Structure formats: C-alpha cells, structure tokens
Structure 1
Amino acid sequence: MTGLPQAIRCLNLDAAAVTVSAALAERGVEAILLKGSGLAHRLGQERHRVYTDVDLLVAPATFDRAQRALADLGCRSAFPEGRPDRRSQWYEQPWRLPGALPLTVDLHRGFHGVADAEALWTVLAGSAERIALAGGTVVVPDEAGAALLVALHAAAPGRSDRPRTDLLRALDVFPADVWRAAATLAAGTGAVPSFALGLSLAPAGAALGVALGLPGVSPAALWLRAHRASPEAVVMAQLAELPTLRGRMRHLGPRLFPTSASMRHGSRVARHGPIGLLVAYLARLARKAGRLPAAVAELRDAERLRQRGSDGG
C-alpha cells in the first residue's frame, strides 16, 4: 500500500475492475470479481473494507485470451517474460495496470485449495450476480460462493491479517444454510480440506465445521501455510505427504531451481550473464540450506500443535 489514502485507492481499484471486466467481455471473456467491492457488498462493509488489488476469475479455457486482452490494454505482467512459472502458482497471475497509480489486477483461473478449477468456474459463474460499481457493473459470486472463498483465503492468508478478519465477519453475517451451501461447493470443487481448515481458524467456524461434518484434522502442509510457517517448512511437509520418490523430486526441483527467467526477474546478480546466474543459484541453495534447521524445528512444533488442535486441546 502506498501513501495514497485508502479510500481513494479503493475507488480507483473499483474503476479498474469495471474497465477491465468490460474490456474482457468485449473479447468474449467472462470475468467474476472475487473479492474487493464484491466481497465488501456481501459482508455489508461497503464503506469500511479496504483492499489492495483487483482479483478477477475467468474460465481456465479463456485464461490465455484474457492475458492477451490485458496486454492489449497496456497492462504489464508482473511475472518474468510475461508468463508465470507454471511449476508453482499456476492459478494466478498479477498484471500491472498502466497509469500513474500502482494498481494490480490478479487474473485467476482457479483459487488456492481448489483441486478442480473448471468446477470452480462452473459453480461460481452459474450463480453469480451483477452489481453496480463505479459507474458500471461487475459480476460477483453469490453468498455461498463468497463464503467458500473467504474460508479458502483464511487457509492461505500469506502475511495479511485481512483473511481472518473477513472470516470473522462472514461467520457473523452468513447464516448456517449459506455455509452448508458453501460446503457443498467445496465438495464439488475438491476444496474440502482447505475449506475445513479455514473455518477451523475461528471458534465459531470450528463449531460450524463439526456441525457440517467437515474433517477435523488438516494435512500438515495446509496447516503450516494457514499458520504462516516458513516456505521451507511448508515444502518439507509437502514432500512428506507425497507417496513416491519421483513425485518428491518433481515437487522439490522447481523450488530449489526456479526457471532462469524467474531467477533473473528476482535477482540482480542473475542478470549478469551465465556466471551471474550460476552465482545466484548457488546463493539461493546456500540460503535454503541455512534455513533447514529452523524449518525442521517448525515442523516438530507444528505437528504437536496440530495434533493438540485435532484432539480438542
């Protein structure tokens, strides 16, 4: 967030959501505003909730067309060489909007914790509603879709406190039948583990999860991410959950050795020819190795806390 007053920034983000949605529609791409003003509308916080970017979901089949449309609008991909590292965060790509203000559109073709991105688009688009915004209109999820997304975001909050705040508000605002419908959406999109975990992060949500018959024990990697563990601890937990050595190597490889484009994007040293790239890779490996002892300790502590939580302690 820059020094720009939050209210003014949010107004500009709302205008961007309308403009980009309309531009995508002109190219035959439907888009759903996942959070921002749409979620504020669902939570009854139109004048209070702040947000920092525009999150638009498109059908997976139209994702590439949507990216071309954003490029035609003068937007610039925040990923190296105009594309994400498909071996990591495949479902989302940020685009910087042109203009004096540093505004970002996060283009989604899925969401964290969702195994079936096509199903997610189908269920959200099938019940989405159009609302007025910034002199135009945008399409937003219905209440059940919003409840699903709030819980999933709480399960992967990054470094922000906002997902938990949204969860607490949603638990106050949405009645039990909305959460029951959201649980059905989670089951249909392969998102039950993350949905259950997200709900469990608040006492009222944990009780609701029991009433809905949701699983009480979360996979270790999901639990660690929800509790803001280090990336190294999360990766180690993910490796332990994979059944084969081949699967573990395929998972670990891109995390130790990102693409050269990604390295050059994030490291000045890597931009200085082949030698610079090699030095950057070696420095990355050294940093990862240095963090291993702390990650192992994190895993031990997390497993104890996770099991205590599943036992109701």
Structure 2
Amino acid sequence: MSTLPEAVRCLSLDTAAVGVTAALADRGVDAVLLKGAGLARRLGQEGHRLYVDIDLLVAPASFDLAQRALADLGCVSALPEGRPDHRSHWYERPWRLPGPLSLTVDLHRGFHGVADPEALWTGLWSSAQRIRLAGGLVTVPDEAGAALLVALHAAAPGRSDRPRADLLRAVEVFPVDTWRAAAALAARTGALASFALGLRLTPSGAALAATLALPQQGTPALWLRAHRASPAALTIAQLAELSGVVDRLRHLGPRLFPTPASMRHASPLARRGPVGLLLAHLGRLARNAGQLPAALSEVRAARRDDRG
C-alpha cells in the first residue's frame, strides 16, 4: 500500500487530470489518459501502483492547440524555448502545472516505437472508455490499448523499473485474446517491432510473444533503448540505421551542437554569457569523445544480440 504522502500526490494528479482534460475538452481537444489511475485499475493495482505525472494523448493535429490551452491554464513548458532538442522525444512535451505541488502533464501526440501516430490516436480513441476519477470523468484506453502501451513502455523504460514491473503484471492479468488485439493494434500503428521486443524482456512475456508468433527481428537501436544503453551508443546505432548524408547530418548535428536554449536549460555554466556557453559546448564535446569507445562496444554487443 502507498504511504500517505504518495497517496496524496496520486490523488492530486488524479484531480489535475480531470481538470486538465475537461479544460482541453472545452477548447475542442479530446484527450486520453494513457497511464496513471486508469492503468492501475486495468492491472488491479489501484492504491498500490504509484505514478508521478499525467500522460495525456491528443490527436496529432490537436497537439499545438492543446499546448496553447495548457499555456492559457498557466502551465509552463519544462523544455527550452523553441523546438525541443534531441533529448526530448518528438512525440511528447512536458508541462508543469501551476500550484504549490510540482505536478507535470506529459502531453503526447504519439508514443515510443509508433511509426503512425494518427493510427495510434484513432485506434485508442475509437475503443477508449470513460471512468470516474477524483469526482470527475476521464477517458482511458481499453484493455488492448493498455496492453500495447505497457509493452511499448517496457521497450523504452528510461531509468525506471516501473515499466518492466507493469509488463510482468499485465502478462499475468490480461488474457491472450487481449494481447492478440494489442498485437493487431501494434501492426496497424507500425509499432510491432517495439511491441514484440518489449514483451520479450521478461520470460513470461517471451512465452506470450511465441504464442502470438510475433516477429523476432528488431534493430540494434531498439535493443539498446530497451536495455538502457548510454545515449552515445543509442545515437551511434540510430545513425547507422539512416541512409543518406543529409539525414545523418540532421540526426547528428543537434546531438553534437545543441541549441543555445537547450545548453542553457541543461548547464549552469552555459548561462554565464557567451564565454560560459562556449566552455559548456567544449566540455560537452570532450565528454562525448571520452564516451565513444564504451559506446561502440555497446553497439557491437547490440548487433550480436540482434543477430542472435
């Protein structure tokens, strides 16, 4: 069972989720609560599964309108001004809610591993269900949508152990037919490789993937992200998967030379005028160079595993 402060925080997040989705609806923006209390209920872990932010999915075409609505509500972007840098997933943008508590809305127009965000929105929204939460109503994915998201999150866990724990629980409680429907949704959204890889991260998930006859072939970049590789290794693997000089320069450029806004956001030194910004860039380049040998070793290991 969660402790009182954790329970209070989750209740605050639930209340905020109700308020934000209602405010978005007033502006003509539909939204789906991707995880949080909705996923906790699907997994039979209400009151036990903790969460730290509010993940809302909107239609890709509504993303900019939703951002303006959040700004009108007094929310502040947690990313540097201008275009998000490479460290921020293209499909989401975090916004800090006003108020005494530090609460964040992660506004999504897609999800990790999804090649067709519009198909994801259509698939999740068309089968979504309304649930009561904190004195209001929110829209959440159906069971198959939740299964898809759990597997995709396991394939991109960041530094958290929560995605793999959610996967273990989901494989235990969701029937095979639910996973079969989730696999079909993954195929429609171009997420089948990430879905299959996510499932195979646990023994029970791997057995389920075999039952569903999911494809085994992934990519080194997908493998590295799922296994929490270093950012440098992931960058190299992604670079190798691109074709053409222009695409590779677009990929590598912002990683080697982030925008001044991004540097100032991440580095106190970069905020100390032009000289500080230059020194921060030089220090970053030196760190990247020092990480290169280990990153190359990680990529070689990923390629061996991918072939196996």
Task: Using structure 2 for the length normalisation, give the TM-score.
Answer: 0.95
Deviating more after overlay: 209-218 vs 256-265: 209-218
Alignment map for 1:202-281 (pairs within 5 Å)? 202-281=202-281
Pairing 1:48–2:38 present: no
CA deviation map 1:33-87 (0-9, x unaligned): 0000010111111111100000000011111111111111111110112652379
Question: 1:81 is paired with a residue of what secondary structure?
Answer: coil
Deviating more after overlay: 62-71 vs 268-277: 268-277
Q: Which whole-Å CA distance do the structure 2 matches of 1:133 and 1:154 have between them?
A: 26
Could you say which residue in structure 1 is the equivalent of 2:80? 80
Q: Contact 1:76/1:82 (CA < 8 Å) preserved in 2?
A: no
Q: Which whole-Å CA distance do the structure 1 matches of 2:291 and 2:111 have between them?
A: 29
Structure 1 residue 306: Cα displacement: 4.0
Q: Which whole-Å CA distance do the structure 2 matches of 1:8 and 1:95 have between them?
A: 20
Structure 1 residue 148: Cα displacement: 0.3
> Partner letter of residue 262 of structure 2?
S
Aligned length: 306
Percent identity between the two aligned chains: 73
Q: Which whole-Å CA distance do the structure 2 matches of 1:87 and 1:203 have between them?
A: 31
CA deviation map 1:232-291 (0-9, x unaligned): 011111112122233222211111111211111111222223222222111111110011
Q: Which whole-Å CA distance do the structure 1 matches of 2:183 and 2:274 have between them?
A: 50
Deviating more after overlay: 295-304 vs 97-106: 295-304
Could you say which residue in structure 2 is the equivalent of 1:5? 5
> Partner letter of residue 148 of structure 2?
L
Q: Contact 2:198/2:226 (CA < 8 Å) preserved in 1?
A: yes
User: What's the Cα RMSD here?
Assistant: 1.6
Q: Contact 2:86/2:255 (CA < 8 Å) preserved in 1?
A: no
Q: Which whole-Å CA distance do the structure 2 matches of 1:8 and 1:143 have between them?
A: 27
Q: Contact 1:129/1:140 (CA < 8 Å) preserved in 2?
A: yes
> Partner letter of residue 49 of structure 2?
R
> Partner letter of residue 219 of structure 1?
T
Question: 2:81 is paired with a residue of what secondary structure?
Answer: helix
> Partner letter of residue 244 of structure 1?
G
Q: Which whole-Å CA distance do the structure 2 matches of 1:90 and 1:300 have between them?
A: 27
Could you say which residue in structure 1 is the equivalent of 2:185? 185
Q: Which whole-Å CA distance do the structure 2 matches of 1:111 and 1:35 have between them?
A: 12
Q: Which whole-Å CA distance do the structure 1 matches of 2:134 and 2:213 have between them?
A: 41
Give structure 1 stretches of 5+ with no counterpart. none
Question: 1:215 is paired with a residue of what secondary structure?
Answer: coil
Structure 1 residue 229: Cα displacement: 0.6
Q: Contact 1:77/1:83 (CA < 8 Å) preserved in 2?
A: no
Could you say which residue in structure 1 is the equivalent of 2:170? 170
Q: Contact 1:87/1:254 (CA < 8 Å) preserved in 2?
A: no
Q: Contact 1:233/1:299 (CA < 8 Å) preserved in 2?
A: yes
Could you say which residue in structure 2 is the equivalent of 1:107? 107
Alignment map for 1:3-42 (pairs within 5 Å)? 5-42=5-42
Q: Contact 2:29/2:65 (CA < 8 Å) preserved in 1?
A: yes
Structure 1 residue 88: Cα displacement: 5.1
Q: Contact 2:219/2:306 (CA < 8 Å) preserved in 1?
A: no
> Partner letter of residue 12 of structure 2?
N
> Partner letter of residue 282 of structure 1?
L
Could you say which residue in structure 1 is the equivalent of 2:195? 195
Q: Which whole-Å CA distance do the structure 2 matches of 1:68 and 1:234 have between them?
A: 32
Task: Using structure 1 for the length normalisation, give the TM-score.
Answer: 0.94
Question: 1:80 is paired with a residue of what secondary structure?
Answer: coil
Q: Contact 1:210/1:216 (CA < 8 Å) preserved in 2?
A: no
Question: 2:131 is paired with a residue of what secondary structure?
Answer: strand
Structure 1 residue 210: Cα displacement: 1.9
Give structure 2 stretches of 5+ with no counterpart. none
Q: Which whole-Å CA distance do the structure 2 matches of 1:4 and 1:69 have between them?
A: 32
CA deviation map 1:140-167 (0-9, x unaligned): 0000100000000000000000000000
Q: Which whole-Å CA distance do the structure 1 matches of 2:294 and 2:276 have between them?
A: 28
